[in-house]
Structure 1
């Protein structure tokens, strides 16, 4: 009986010793993905006028309710708009401004803007990270001719900003993970 107690104590001590290893002294920091319920794109005409808001809101995430996408008005043809993006987490009160974290982690994020094929509209970046690579929280959108258009906005986490075309906004070689994606249908009028 005494040998069994000795073996039991030995096994328990060995388990305790192995459980207290130094492997976790410097654990990798976990960068949790932020919850984004709302993406709001504000387009302000460079020469006066009312800002146009493109917004996608999905308050239940992967829940049963469909996201609500709205466009507050039409864009004018051959017009320059200054653009900005606001990301919100509205599952908490007050809502968390997630775009502030994107700005803080600017080297790990980039927005990409893709128009429908028939569009002549273009986006140029108006902000850059610490390595002079684009972010896309601020941008300039220039419309072309009148017509129906589609704009898809994608936020990539840890894109390869040095890949061919990425700094010009080509998502093809960007890699990384998609944090947010929203597609807006809108009209460009004369």
Structure 2
């Protein structure tokens, strides 16, 4: 409990300092639980300010009465519960958040419901703090997973859906997938490969 309070106070201090310099960045401090062994690391992307590597984000499905989708990068950000459904999308990852162009990218967070019945990927500070306050666990990992704010260079929308019947979030580049599954559309999280 002391560790969680300490980590949360560090995160809050970091968050306040970032807000003062006009960046929307969240720092995660809890390491991921599981390492994906069958993932491939894609080629590097370089912007003028920082070197980024693009990583696949894998989607996992846990069916039955407690249907849930979870997501995890090759480097261990997020969590994979259930059976792998393969690559959901690819997006840049970095270890140095200070060199990230905040006009181009948002930093993603990965949150797991306290009873493991939902999983959220987001980039808003308000949503992160709201979920954290409700007991959700930050499983973002040690790297910073980025998402583009705008289209371009072959990027596609990452759609966010919510399954009301089973309290499950679904993230997909395929809009029809969420609609056909009966999920409610919540909007675009950002732009991915």
Shorter-chain TM-score tier = under 0.3
Larger Rg: 1
Question: How high is the TM-score relative to the length of structure 1?
Answer: 0.27
Question: How high is the TM-score relative to the length of structure 2?
Answer: 0.27
